[in-house]
Structure 1
Amino acid sequence: MDDDLIDSGLLPLSRKSLLPGTGFFYPDSLDEDRADERVQEAVDGAEAVVVADLDADGLGCAALIREMYDAALDPEPFLADIESRMSDDPVEEETESDEDDEADTPDSSVALVGASPHNVEDALERVAEYADDGVEVYVCDLCPDKYEYVEDALESLVAHADSVRWFDHHQWNDDVAAAVRDAGVDLVVGDSDEECTTDVALRSLDYEFSEHFEELAEVTRDHDLWIREDERSDDLADYAYWVKNEEYVAVVGAYGADLPEKALSYVEHRRIEKEKLIDLAVSRAEFKRVGEWTVGVTYGRCSQNEVAETLREQGADAAVIVKPAGSASIRGSEGFERAHEVAAYVDGGGHPRAAGCKPEIYDDMLDYANHWSTQGSAAKRVILAAFERVAEAAEDDEKDAEDEGVETER
């Protein structure tokens, strides 16, 4: 197949916004082989390993842990490279910051291994296989839906490592948390309404961090919990999304929440296209009434948080952003704090006001072709059906409360 057919950087924005990024079209088998190689190289000789979600919150934890181990990388080589990237690199909105092409990055004695809630067991298994005996492991900003998903990998890791500590702020099932602790893991779960995982790591690590790390946690929380009272939080989130993981960890480790001018210039450069993709997604939105809620539903490659905020301003209590790769983001508001309940019906999870899912409706490439050509119509239907189920449950709860003479809020 011609490489140009999957290179979305060559497409006009109106078409690019409808299709997934280039990385989507690489087979999982190739990704697994590359992941094995990357993890093996990263953890070779490492004193400690951080397994983290690769957003600003997970990477913020990595910055804290590297500071504690005196293992931070120098940010200046990354910053010196920004100007050439702005002039030469194609803008690829949906690839996110991955670890390919980081071969020239200096090694840190604290290795960083990326993971997601859907593949955390793979990352744990690779660390157990490739890291040195007696390594210290930190798992950050990740929450398994079921213990059996991580059971074998985690038990192997605990047997191999000197210690395993796990920091998170998502809503854990009590049985899963108990099983993880019983496996020998020091698990600390913060209040998902009050703390981000960087907060949890900051208070849990036995180290006197400087004020700029405390401020980094505060600003990371501002974005991760969708408080949005500090304009720097969007800068951190965008910078984490657009640059390689090692760059973000090095720069915020040195500068905290106040990104240097070169980094801010790069963020502003990338936002030109970001804003256009947001506008396209908003223009496609439809508003549906489900129970007592207005749900804004749209499709496209975009920054889901900003799209959700715009839909809220237009009257939505909740927003659904279906992505070309098949996943979807669900965002709530003060009037809708059941996003995680909706996601749970569609193979996902998250927080009351922010959740994600990927409906299991894609059996072959024809299903994906239909997904792209219909702008996610099947995914929208199953997610809206999940909203209906949550609305029915809310009505039942309200009726039960009325029968008992208790006043409730939706």
Structure 2
Amino acid sequence: MDEDLISSSNLPLARKSVIPGTGFFLPDDVEDGLEEKEAQAALAGADVAVIADADADGLACVALIREAYDDVQVVPEPPVDDEEMDDAADVEAITESTDAGTDVPPEPEPDVDPLEEPEPTPHRVALLPASPHNVEDTIQRVADYANPGIDCYVCDLCPDKYEYVETELEALLEVVDDVSWYDHHQWDEDVAEAVREAGVDLVVGDSEEECTADVALRSLAYDFDERFETLAAVTRDHDLWLREDPRSDDLADYAYWTDAAEYVEVVREYGVDLPEWVQAFLTERRVEKQGLIDRAVARAEFREVGGYTVGVTYGRCSQNEVAEAMREQDADASVIVKPAGSASIRGTDAFERCHEVAGRLNGGGHPKAAGCKPDIYDDMLDYAQHWTTRGAVAKQVILDAFEAVLEEADEVDGSDESEN
């Protein structure tokens, strides 16, 4: 296949908004092979392994753990090319072309080539990015490639069922000395008990009060300076969607757009006050980010479900900002269906059952923020329909889950009233 057909780097924004990124089209066996090589390279000579969600919260935990273990710092060099340093100055001209109705220049693909051969890193504390959907695979890679007797941390990840990680966790515990698991998501009590009984030091924070970086900060036996306390606080501001510190958006965007390893080293060095060259990078990227947000908001529809207004839209976008825009249009809850098939569900003070809705569709999360991927894609023709209908089937399945959750809640409330 011609690589240009799956590359989104040169697509107009209107088209880029409705189809997945290049990584979606990478076959699982190719992706698995790349991740195997990356794990081997990261674990070569490492004394500690950290399996972490690659968002700002998970990566803040990696920064804290590296600091606690006095791991070597590898701070990226700022760009020296004059044209790169002038990017921020060009944003005004780009914005003017956007206002005139033309597409903004497409967002560059990540600087790291996904097919590039990984090199061993100098870190004693190895970073292994993971997601809720593949945490068991990453646990198994540590079991396969780590030096015997190392410590292992799992951060900002929550298995829906213990069976999903049981075999891999057993293999890991045969290799490592200690496993600590820090998180703040909504854990099923039986899953948490099973993980602890397996021999893991599991610490789960209050998902309404703490992010995982908070949990790591108070759990690690190390006297962190104020810079890291601030890092945890500002990370929490975005992760819990408090929106009280503007720097939290900088952290979230930078973690999303840059390489995970770069993010960790930059926040270790600079804390939450990111250097000018990072700010210039963010400014450039946000031009397109806003364009994708605007398109998703323009597609929004509003449905009444069980007495609540649910905003529903589709697109490749920053889901939190889109959800906020729908909230401002009086949505009690918001659903953002992505081209890759997953969906983000966001609530408000009026609706705090997002995790229940997601739980019916192979997902989970928090009362006000959750995610899922409905099991409705059997082949590429289903995905083609998904893209051309702007997620019509996924939207309806999720709305049906809202209705089922609210009907069940009404039945419980009715039962309680009859008992009284």
The within-5 A match list for 1:4-403 is 4-77=4-77, 84=84, 91-92=107-108, 101=116, 103=118, 106-403=121-418
Task: Measure how far apart 1:3 and its partner are.
Answer: 1.1
SS of equivalent to 2:128: strand
Question: Normalising by the residue count of structure 2, what TM-score does the alignment of the two structures yield?
Answer: 0.92
User: Deviation at 1:96?
Assistant: 11
Rounded Cα–Cα distance in structure 2 between residues aligned with 1:215 and 1:6:
40
1:43-67 alpha-carbon deviations (Å, 9 max, x no partner): 0110101000000000000000000
- Runs of 4+ in structure 1 over 4 Å off: 78-87, 95-102
- Partner Cα distance (2:395, 2:216) in 1: 36
Report the 3-state secondary structure (helix = DSSP H, G, I; strand = E; otherwise coil) of the residue aligned with 1:360.
coil
Distance of 1:355 and 1:373 partners within structure 2: 25
2:94 aligned residue: none
Post-superposition shift, 1:7? Answer: 1.1
The aligned residue for residue 408 of structure 1 is none
The 2-side partners of 1:33 and 1:285 are apart by: 38
How many residue pairs get aligned? The number is 403
Deviations, residues 260-294 of structure 1 (Å, cap 9, x unaligned): 11111111110000000000000000000001110
Q: Does the CA contact (< 8 Å) of 1:82 and 1:262 recur in 2?
A: no
Instruction: Give the direction of change, closer, same or farther, for the CA distance of 1:165–1:107 in structure 2 (3 Å limit).
Output: same
* Superposition deviation, residue 77 in structure 1: 2.1
Q: Percent identity?
A: 62
Q: Against the structure 1 CA distance between its residues 72 and 355, is the aligned structure 2 distance closer, same or farther, given a 3 Å change threshold? A: farther
Per mean C-alpha deviation after superposition, the further-off stretch among 251-260 and 239-248 is 251-260
Residue 99 of structure 1 deviates from its aligned partner by: 6.9
Change in CA separation of 1:64 and 1:100 when aligned onto 2, cut-off 3 Å: farther
Please say if residues 99 and 245 of structure 1, whose CA atoms lie closer than 8 Å, have aligned partners that are also in contact.
no
Once superposed, what is the RMSD of the aligned Cα atoms?
2.0
For 1:86 and 1:62, the matched residues in 2 are separated by 32
**Could you list the runs of 5+ residues in structure 2 that have no partner in the other structure?**
88-104
Name the SS of the counterpart of 2:312 in structure 1: strand
Deviation at 1:106, TM superposition (A): 4.6
CA displacement at 1:104 relative to structure 2: 6.1
* Aligned-partner SS, 1:334: coil
Q: CA deviation at 1:135?
A: 0.9
- CA deviations 1:190-235 (Å, max 9, x no partner) are 0111000000000000000010100000000000001111101000
SS of 1:356's equivalent in the other structure is: strand
1:279 and 1:90, CA in 2 relative to 1: closer, same or farther beyond 3 A?
closer
